[in-house]
Structure 1
Amino acid sequence: MATIVMLGAGIMATALSFPSSENGHDVRLVGTFLDREIIDSIQTTGIHPDLGLKVNDGVTAYQLEDAEKAFDGADVVMSGVNSFGVEWAGEQLARLIKPGQKFLCITKGMRADEDGTMHILPEVIRSYMDPELAESISWNAIVGPSIAGELAVHHDTAVVFCGENRDDAEYLADLFRTDYYHVWTSADFIGHETGAATKNIYAFAAGFAEGLLRKQGKADNKYVMYNYGAALFAQGQKELRSFVTLMGGNPETADGLGGVGDMFVTSMGGRNVKAGTLVGQGIPFSEVRDQHMKGVTLEGVAAIKVIGKALRPLTERGVIRPDEYPLCRFLYSVVEEDAPLDIPWDTFFADLA
């Protein structure tokens, strides 16, 4: 039996407690300062209030002040803090994680330096640790199309556990594999984490078609806009594959669960798609952010801001060409400059010209 501790008690971290606890492992959920009500609910009723489900026996919830107790003796440490809190998570883990533990990241996103150099989130977390400690940790992540609620109710879910060491990824995968949670492993750590981060960019664009239909009063029309949506999806996948290559990953990674598979499920709905739908209706993004979805965490928009901003210095340095990533560049103008929804179609699919 392994002991698994998760920093963050959101719906995905908690959903992952189902397969691992059903395999007989000791699972400990540690809430952040934003998770106090969630931990209180689990401790008193056993129910995660956002999932609306009772956690399994073998899952114990801890408030943040009891984190050291929860981390004591853990074999595996997981981070489920969203990308907006990755620096905070890095600070916490730097004092809580122990040499030799295996780290498993479930949060997706990136950070970028002023010169455009981009970093996956495990790399950001690692930067907060003493180099000797960081070197002793096994670094891994989970990627792939995984909606938390579906996983928690045992719907078939297929993911990839990736890491710097394939054997360690396989060890971790065995802790979670069940007859409904299907896990593959890969040593393309950077490629899978890049795909998982950049796919969020294009989920925002997935809402445009529905918004345009509503704006035109055609939401119930027989003829919708699948053609429009498919073209954006295809260009998004093309750019995702290019990002994986740019970061040094295997471009074929973009064609699997950690790339197009994850992009597909993220584009099916959720907060980022809702934001895109509102923009499609003609509402400037600044108004969407400040009024319609004030206080809502938008991971896709965060990815657009980080990665889209990085494209300019990367272009100026000659790392990428000015004609690369036209959809990402356009989406950046939408969220940063309230640019109108005038899709630059002629810049897409340049390799087909």
Structure 2
Amino acid sequence: MVSIERGKTLEKQRIAVLGPGSWGTALAQVLAENGHEVTIWGNKPEQIAEINERHTNAHYLPNLQMAPSIRGEFSLERAIDRADAILFVLPTKAIRSVAKEVNQLIQNQPHIVHASKGLEQGSHKRISEILDEEISPKNRAEIVVLSGPSHAEEVSVHDITTITAASAEQTGALYVQSLFMNDYFRIYTNTDVIGVETGAALKNIIAIGAGTLAGLGFGDDAKAAIMTRGLAEISRLGVAMGANPLTFIGLSGVGDLIVTCTSVHSRNWRAGNLLGKGHTLDEVLANMGMVVEGVSTTKAAKELADMLKVEMPITESIYQVLYEGKDIQQAARDIMLRDGKIENEFSIE
């Protein structure tokens, strides 16, 4: 277990990255370029072989030549052996099962970091809550959330990116800040874990809606409308869950919302765009080739909003389209014809 003061240089660390998707690969590359010893774990032998033999991960980041020092590993036990930090970059549905296994294998007390974005189906729990439940406190240091406006495709070519490391204890966030900071990848710290995770998860829902409007042929006015009112929904639910409202005007709130709702790199936007153009949800998911977290998050968020009595009309409309087969154009008309509201009304009743 390693702690660090702000501004102090961090010595070389052993990092296990769990999940060789596009974001896991990009983050592994940042860590390797910062001089750390990086192992990336996955459950597909052919993908691990490609990483080790060709130093590429062509399915996810076809234009990236990975650092030769990054080692692919098929064995979870070997991947996390003596790691100073374990970074989860897995689909939300896989977090709990992998965390259970990690808890059985840990030999030291590493920092636990996650860069995944979603809510667990059924329990509606945030990812840090799952990790806290499944990895015993005696086996780990702090749990840290790494989130914000970022595309793996852009980070991998050193585009300027700024995101947030959030932990209930500042020491964990400072450690992750020191791990990742360099001249193209800047990390800010935050102690509002609820707000950072809620913003990260819920913006994917709004991105599906933004893509759908674009697919239907609507322009910038509609884009601005769904992003702004979507942020209001995210903030209402987040505050009802205990978040600091100021978090939602930061990187993991409005920042992540902007990048996810306006870019073709966003798989949630692309999924919505295909829906707007007339494709079925099954067709979209079959052709995407990657997990579209916003689809499952829509269901969890809708159920959570119902439980907490939080009004989320955009989320409700997207839920009706995804899970009840409602016509997309009718959903757009219905939400525009709702009763008039006060813009800055923030009641969660």
Common fold by TM > 0.5: yes
- In structure 2, what is the Cα distance between the partners aligned to 1:150 and 1:140? 23
Q: CA RMSD in A?
A: 2.0
- In structure 1, what is the Cα distance between the partners aligned to 2:73 and 2:174? 28
Paired residue for 1:216?
none
**Paired amino acid for 1:260:** V
- In structure 2, what is the Cα distance between the partners aligned to 1:17 and 1:194? 24
Q: What is the CA-CA distance between 1:335 and the residue it aligns to?
A: 0.8
Paired residue for 1:350?
341
**Paired amino acid for 1:309:** E
SS at match of 2:305: helix
Paired residue for 1:79?
88
- In structure 2, what is the Cα distance between the partners aligned to 1:280 and 1:9? 30
Q: What is the CA-CA distance between 1:161 and the residue it aligns to?
A: 0.7
Paired residue for 2:182?
178
1:70-113 per-residue CA deviation (whole Å, 9 max, x = no partner) reads 21211011111112322332233222334521011011101255
1:126-171 per-residue CA deviation (whole Å, 9 max, x = no partner) reads 32234644xx431001110110011111110110111121122112
* 1:312-351 equivalent positions in 2, closer than 5 A: 312=306, 314=307, 319-321=308-310, 324-341=311-328, 342-343=331-332, 344-347=335-338, 350-351=341-342
Is 1:241–1:255's contact at 8 Å kept on the other side of the alignment?
A: no
Is 1:327–1:348's contact at 8 Å kept on the other side of the alignment?
A: no
**Paired amino acid for 1:300:** G
SS at match of 2:200: helix
Paired residue for 1:218?
none
TM-score (norm 1): 0.85
Paired residue for 1:272?
268
Q: What is the CA-CA distance between 1:348 and the residue it aligns to?
A: 7.9
Paired residue for 1:51?
61
TM-score (norm 2): 0.86
Paired residue for 2:27?
16
- In structure 2, what is the Cα distance between the partners aligned to 1:75 and 1:238? 38
Moved over 6 A (4+): none
SS at match of 1:47: coil
Closer, same or farther: CA 75–340 of 1 in aligned 2, 3 Å: same
- In structure 2, what is the Cα distance between the partners aligned to 1:155 and 1:206? 24
Matched, 1:256 2:256: no
Matched, 1:293 2:285: yes
**Paired amino acid for 2:229:** Q
Q: What is the CA-CA distance between 1:68 and the residue it aligns to?
A: 1.6
**Paired amino acid for 1:24:** G
Is 1:13–1:80's contact at 8 Å kept on the other side of the alignment?
A: yes
Q: Which runs of 5+ in 1 are unaligned?
A: 214-223
SS at match of 1:141: strand
Closer, same or farther: CA 301–83 of 1 in aligned 2, 3 Å: same
Q: 1:25 aligns with which of 22, 29, 36?
A: 36
Q: Which runs of 5+ in 2 are unaligned?
A: 1-11
**Paired amino acid for 1:120:** R
- In structure 2, what is the Cα distance between the partners aligned to 1:226 and 1:279? 18
Q: Could you tell me the percent identity over the aligned residues?
A: 29
- In structure 1, what is the Cα distance between the partners aligned to 2:119 and 2:30? 28
Matched, 1:143 2:143: no
- In structure 2, what is the Cα distance between the partners aligned to 1:348 and 1:254? 26
**Paired amino acid for 1:141:** V
- Which range moved further: 337-346 or 138-147? 337-346
